[in-house]
Structure 1
Amino acid sequence: MPASSSSHFLPVKILAAILPAVILCACTSSPTAKEQIAARVIVPRHWLQTEAGNDTPAASSLDVTALASWWMRFNDPVLDRLIIDALANSPDIRTALSKIAESRARRAVEKSSLLPTLSAGVTGRESYSRDHLAHTSTSGDSYSASLDAGWEIDLFGRQRLALDAATADLAQTRENFHAAQVSLAAEVADAYVTLRSGENQLAVLERNIASRTETTQLTLWREQAGLASALDTQQSLSTLEQARASLPSLRQTIAESRNRLALLCGRAPGALDSLLAETRPVPAPPTALATGIPAETLRQRPDIRAAEHALEAATSRTDAARRERLPSLNLAGSIGVETLNAGDLLSPDNTVASLLGSLTAPIFQGGRIRQNILIQTELQKQALIAYESSVLTALNEVENALVAVRRLAERTAILDAAANAATTAADLAARQYEAGQVDLLTVLDAQRTRLGIEEQQVSATASLTAAHIQLYKALGGGWGGQPAATP
């Protein structure tokens, strides 16, 4: 008998010995998101384009206040109005706000799992039977009412971890909203610069067409006076029509840019034409903005913070998956009334109450729990890799924007000097041709040179402004805190 008794309690002893180890293993938490980031992501201390030896202004503390509404630094009221309108009415922004509301509701669902559940029910039943041999029948009624409660105790924090993951998801959707603001502001500014660049190129082309028209008319008069040949007239007319051939494409660009701005602002094509009717110069690039250090930029950019929250959510879900191997404690209680008379449902004499507690632990799940842990672990790895990719992308975007600002500023200065010289040369050639000192080809060549340089000048100015816009976007500018309200 002793041996039999010992063997009878052997499984219990083994379970008692193994269970603490299982609980300890399952309760082991992953490193926090910040710890994982610190171990894997290395951030440079300075931007390459702000180190000693470059002519880019040295970095100082990031000007977060100026970044919030960076477009105000371009001193263009139309641009200000467009961006404010887009941030209020864009479908992308409204969709991002809706996603915040959805994520908040999902978090509330997870939070409700930590609370007890309570349900009530009332039933009534009528029965009827007939004895065909005795030719008798009987009938009866019964009624019942119950109030049932249930609660799964979060013994090992699995439900709390699921709530943490949902909280991180909500934070991520907020940052995605801010990232949408950043992208939208930059996109509106880019479209506006494209519009103003097209308008200014059109103005340059029209001035050159007017100048070539005068040259063509002068050549025709000289031909009629016997001072020039028909060949000169046709060459002058050819260059004039060649310049005119560029008008349709520029007007197409202007119309498409206006329609794009209307779309970004959530409006139908043509809705903004009155606001954009007046031709304005390309917004002048503002004075240099303090770019700070890379670490400050990573803290400012919403997409980086969104990636960090995604890693936090994945880490919490991995830890929650590990805790599925642990026992769960459920409490259930019920209080009810059963009676044959509906009038006795409220009688305390017919009340029946019960309370049940159960502790269950998974023994065999066909590998489901283990594979779910593996799935969540890999999703956590992917989230960390995505964070690393976001950091590398951010660093690359800032460095490229800094290079573009620096080099395009150099190109613009060179083109300004070239444009002044080309204008002087074209004017001299026209006067000398009128005086018969040079031939027509000299005049036409000088006009072509001036047109080409002036077009490059407008394009370079627009590119420089666009480079500043991309720098503001890369630094994480263009969002102003938490959304004021969500639907």
Structure 2
Amino acid sequence: MAPTAPLASPIWTDGDGTPPLSDRVLEMHGKEDPRPGMTRLAAAVRVGLLAAAAFVGGCESLFPPDAKHHTHLGIPPHWIAGDAPLPTHFPDHDWVAAFGEPDLTAFVGRVMEENRDLKAAQSRIEIAGANARIAGADLYPRLDGSFSGQRNAQNFIGLPLPGVPPDTILSSQSNHFGLSLDLQWEIDLWGRIRAAQSAVVAEFEASGYDFATAQLSLAGQAAKTWFALAEAKDQVALARNAIATFSETESAIRERFERGIEDEGRNPASQLLLARADVANARESLAAREELVGRAARQLEILAGGYPNGAAGSSARLPEMPGKVPAGLPATLLDRRPDLASAERRIAAADKRLLEAKRSLLPAIRLTGSYGHASEDISDILNNDFSVWNVAGNLAQPILQGGRLRANIAKRDSELELAAAEFEQAALTAFSEVENALAAETFLTRRVDALENASRLALAAYRRSLEEFERGTGDFLTVLTSQQRLFTSRAQSIGMRRQRLDNRVDLYLALGGSFQPAEPSHATATATATKP
């Protein structure tokens, strides 16, 4: 059995120049470490796990290989609903900068640092790392040091000793002191313990991908909330403009009403009431939009881990739409989205749990031993003349356990099938999200263009109605109607711009990041260069 060669192992690279799963998990944490992109905790875990593997045999990686071969997916050669980029390996938050808003980018960065949910997710990663170290402890011998002290007393009655009366009670007292090192070790001849530890390592990697999923989702939520605040602010400005315009119209109609001027076939009183109703509706819209501004600002503060005082996002505005979506292939999505990577790691963990259950049917080999000193006088506790030692071996073959081991194998096999099915469903959901976002991109673009054209036409109609009224060829009812359509179309246009931006965020999230290819990490480049 050859010794472990770390740089030649799939632990260090995925063989295609991309960061390995373990590296991609550990790079998420963003802490300095002996290897770039790894946390101190993760480095310690890896060193310990590699040492354990080399110590026991070194023939099997503790980081389970890709487990997607357990799944069955029919992946189309291209996106049906439209073009999509070639996804890259995460972590990738460059998509936020694609909107060209430095304040938005800075705010999302603040959310990544201060959000309480992310801090909780970070703690869960640390817990998973600790569990991986705990599982690795069984690969090593267990060595305990012990010291014992004992004093005994025993009474003897009726012993036939010369010169001692028969009814005399004799007493004997003794001391016993011991100092020893005790060794216990289960030799992992069949790889059962390594399989159990590999399962925990895969779960540790999955927790890292869960953290990346939470980061991606939270960044999307922050961006959408930012856009919601920007839209609400634009709607507030539009509502104030509407109030001013409707108020001017109301004043003009009131003046005509007070002067007794009537349009042919028209009642100025009804026109005045309609104008007043328009002003009241605009005031209601203003109050609703102002309430939305405060609500969105408070939500931003909650996301950033601050008190919701409603002061956040003062610079929020709706940005211009980023560029068009480049072309790509959907199959690469499986290597990009952290939620799919997490699901795949759980397949790997279930696979190793099944292997552990199967190898539990084989004999367990255990060694025990101790070395130390034992004496009746504590002053002799370190005297080699009083040394004691023992070595023992034990081989235990399960024979009859009421079907527990076989049932556990069946359970683990079902868990593997469950993990594979969940991965397949997650992948199908991911493909659906991309297809839906691509389709919506096309339709929302058409709707935005149509609403912008409607706004231009409504503005032209409003101006024409005013000109006709001033020339005496039009009436105020037409003016009121054109005003309403103008502000309605403008409000819809603002809302549609926000929907289009939200959909682009959804597309970034569905693809797992931006459209730009990621540069390979320093650690990956080094490992690839040194791989034989």
1:176 aligns with 2:201: no
C-alpha distance in 2 between matches for 1:31 and 1:171: 12
Of 252, 277, 282, 2:314 maps to: 277
Q: Which residue of 2 aligns with 1:119?
A: 144
- For 1:96, give the aligned amino acid: A
- Does the CA contact (< 8 Å) of 1:308 and 1:387 recur in 2? yes
CA distance in 2, matches of 1:226, 1:63: 73
Alignment equivalent of 2:436, drawn from 381, 384, 400: 400
Alignment of 1:61-140 (within 5 A): 61-62=86-87, 68-129=93-154, 133-134=167-168, 137-140=171-174
Does structure 1 residue 222 correspond to structure 2 residue 259?
Answer: no
Q: What does residue 266 of structure 1 align with?
A: 305
Structure-2 change in CA distance of 1:195 and 1:352 (3 Å): same
TM-superposed deviation, 1:131: 6.9
Q: Partner residue of 2:48? A: none
Decide which of 306, 310, 325 is 2:342's aligned counterpart: 306
- Cα distance in structure 2, aligned partners of 1:230 and 1:313: 77
- Aligned partner letter, 1:333: G
Aligned residue identity for 1:390: A
> 3-state DSSP class of the match of 2:139?
coil
Q: Are 2:195 and 1:161 equivalent residues in the alignment?
A: yes
* SS of aligned partner of 1:42: coil
Instruction: Choose from 394, 397, 404 the match for 1:358.
Output: 394
Aligned to 1:55: none
Q: Secondary structure at the match of 1:281?
A: coil
Alpha-carbon offset, residue 418 of structure 1: 1.0
For residue 277 of structure 1, report the CA deviation from its aligned partner: 2.5
Within the alignment, does 1:242 sit opposite 2:307 as a pair?
Answer: no
Alpha-carbon distance between aligned partners in 2 of 1:459 and 1:237, rounded to the nearest angstrom: 26
In the TM superposition, residue 437 of structure 1 has moved relative to its aligned partner by 2.8
Contact preservation (8 Å) 2:227, 2:317 = no
Q: 1:341 aligns with which of 361, 370, 377?
A: 377
- Residues 32-79 of structure 1 show CA distances to partners (whole Å, capped at 9, x for unaligned) of 723223xx12211100023xxxxxxx4564467995311111111221
Q: CA deviation at 1:276?
A: 2.0
Aligned to 2:320, what secondary structure does the other structure show? coil
2:186, 2:365 within 8 Å by CA — same for their partners in 1?
yes
Once the two structures are aligned, what percentage of the paired residues are identical? Answer: 29
**In 1, Cα distance between the equivalents of 2:314 and 2:181?**
70
How many residues matched?
442
> For the structure 1 residues 66 and 307, does the alpha-carbon distance in structure 2 shift closer, same or farther, using more than 3 Å as the test?
closer
Q: Is contact 2:346-2:419 (8 Å) kept?
A: yes
Change (3 A) 1:438 1:67: farther
Between the aligned partners of 2:507 and 2:299, the Cα distance in structure 1 is: 22
- Correspondence 1:407-486 to 2 at 5 A: 407-477=443-513
Quote the Cα distance in structure 1 between the aligned partners of 2:155 and 2:192: 56
Counterpart among 150, 161, 164 of residue 184 in structure 2: 150
User: Residue 81 of structure 2 contacts residue 436 of structure 2 at CA under 8 Å; is this kept in 1?
Assistant: no
Name the structure where helix makes up a greater proportion of residues: 1
Partner of 1:293: 329
Give 2:73's aligned residue.
41
Summarize the Cα distance change of 1:103–1:64 in structure 2 as closer, same or farther, 3 Å threshold: closer
2:220 corresponding residue in structure 1: 186
Residues 136 and 326 of structure 1, relative CA distance in 2, 3 Å threshold: closer
The change in CA–CA distance for 1:418 and 1:149 in structure 2 (over 3 A counts) is: same
Please, which runs of 5 or more residues in structure 1 have no aligned partner? Answer: 1-29, 51-57, 483-487
Give the drift of 1:334. 1.1
- Which whole-Å CA distance do the structure 2 matches of 1:185 and 1:98 have between them? 19
1:312-368 Cα distance to aligned partner (Å, 9 max, x none): 000000011011110011111111322111101111111111110111100000010
- In the TM superposition, residue 401 of structure 1 has moved relative to its aligned partner by 0.3
2:407 maps to which residue? 371
Q: Secondary structure at the match of 1:227?
A: coil
2:47 is matched with which residue? Answer: none
Contact 1:63 1:291 in 2 (8 A): no
Q: Partner of 1:358: helix, strand, or coil?
A: strand
Point out the more displaced range, 415-424 or 233-242: 233-242
Partner Cα distance (1:100, 1:216) in 2: 63
Q: Distance in 2 between matches of 1:102 and 1:330?
A: 29
Aligned match of 1:233: 272
Aligned residues of 2:231 and 2:498 also touching (Cα < 8 A): yes
Q: In structure 2, do the counterparts of structure 1 residues 186 and 418 end up closer, same or farther at CA, with 3 Å as the change threshold?
A: same
Runs of 4+ in structure 1 deviating by more than 6 angstroms, as ranges, are 63-66, 478-482
Distance 2:346 2:89 in 1: 24
Write out aligned runs for 1:380-391 (5 A): 380-391=416-427
Structure 1 residue corresponding to 2:236, chosen from 185, 195, 202: 202
Given that 2:184 and 2:366 are in contact with CA atoms closer than 8 Å, whether structure 1 keeps it comes out as yes
Is the contact between residue 93 and residue 216 of structure 2 (CA under 8 Å) also seen in structure 1?
no
**CA offset at residue 127 of structure 1?**
2.8
Contact 2:231 2:495 in 1 (8 A): yes
Contact 1:314–1:383 under 8 Å retained in 2: yes
What letter matches 1:102 in structure 2? I
* Long gaps (5+) in structure 2: 1-63, 158-166, 263-267, 522-532
**Kept in 1: contact 2:153–2:174 (CA 8 A):** yes
AA aligned opposite 2:313: L
| Distance apart, 1:128 and its partner CA | 3.6
Q: Partner letter of residue 373 of structure 1? A: I
The answer (yes or no) to whether the contact 2:67–2:344 under 8 Å persists in 1 is yes
Aligned to 1:21: none
Q: 1:145 to 1:478 in 2, by over 3 A?
A: farther
Contact map agreement 1:62 1:291 (CA 8 A) in 2: no
| 1:253 equivalent in alignment to 2:269 | no
In the alignment, which residue of structure 2 is the partner of 1:15? none
Question: 2:206 corresponds to which letter in structure 1?
Answer: Q
Distance 1:396-1:125 versus aligned 2 partners, 3 A rule: same
Structure 2 CA distance for partners of 1:92 and 1:66, relative to 1, 3 Å = closer
Amino acid at match of 2:271: D
Amino acid at match of 1:180: A
Contact 1:120 1:148 in 2 (8 A): yes
Please tell me the residue identity of whatever aligns with 1:45. Answer: P
Q: CA deviation at 1:129?
A: 4.8
Decide whether aligned partners of structure 1 residues 32 and 305 sit closer, same or farther in structure 2, where only a CA change above 3 A counts: closer
If the length of structure 1 is used for normalisation, what is the TM-score? 0.86
2 CA distance for matches of 1:136 and 1:107? 59
After TM superposition, the structure 1 stretch with the greater mean CA deviation from structure 2, 317-326 or 91-100, is 91-100
